[in-house]
Amino acid sequence: MTFQRARTDEQRSQRRRQILDTAAAMLTEMPVAKLSLNELSRRVGLAKANVLRYFDSREAVLLDLLDTEIQSWITELERAQPGGEGTARERGDQLADLLATSMTRRPVLCDLLSAQGAVLEHNISAETGIRHKRAARTSLKDLVQLVLRHLPELGTEGAAALVETTLLMAMTAWQCSRPSEAMLAVYASDPELASMRLDFTDLVRRTTAVTASGLLARHEAPNNAVPAS
């Protein structure tokens, strides 16, 4: 295929979109760790050097996809109506279930999140890092506002803490809940060992619910404290 340089902003934007769309399609077939720049270039129909005209690296492509996936997830969450009835703890449990189950339905998002710190934020330029962190900051603010719709009792600081804990647990739980073929055989060989297999949805739901309950208790504690004599 003969390479034709994109000469206008619109053409450059289209070329970037083509690369991102191809990478997104690949992630429905393979995990982040298996997506190579060589294979991405082949599927896009460009030489690797020409793909690198639009992105610093494979990691830069995947960071851009991560930002898009998070925004898509937030859009889905915003459509969910908060439960107006029930105690704060009950609404916290409902929110924990919403966050956990919605992430489970988005394996590409979870895989990208799990690779963010250790892989995706390396081998990139400062410009790419700045763009990514600005997008991440916007997403975090949106998630905090979403949590406050469900649990206004937490306040902004508590909502931010809940968001951070949920995302950190999701990053770790995704890796720990994706056993190798060898470990799947181990679990299949013995019911007692099978009980040790971690479930992503349950881990995220439980951690988020417990964190929400703890934050609510800490928020209420000063009002219930016994005054000093």
Q: Which domains does the chain have, with CATH numbers?
A: 9-54 (1.10.10), 58-218 (1.10.357.10)
What's the pTM value of the predicted model, to 2 decimals? 0.87
Contact 35, 97 (CB under 8 A): no
Model pLDDT, residue 85? 78
Closest by alpha carbon to 151, among 105, 217, 206?
217
pLDDT tens for each residue of 25-45: 999 999 999 999 999 999 999
Whether 227 has a pLDDT exceeding 50, the answer reads: no
**Residue 167 pLDDT:** 97
Per-residue pLDDT band for 6 (boundaries 50, 70, 90) equals low
User: Which residue in 146, 66, 145 sits closest to 99, CA to CA?
Assistant: 146
Q: For residue range 136-166, list pLDDT tens digits in order.
A: 999 999 999 999 999 999 999 999 999 999 9
Check residue 226 and give its pLDDT. 44
Whether residue 229 is predicted with pLDDT greater than 60 in this model: the reply is no
**Residue 175: pLDDT band with limits 50, 70, 90:** very high
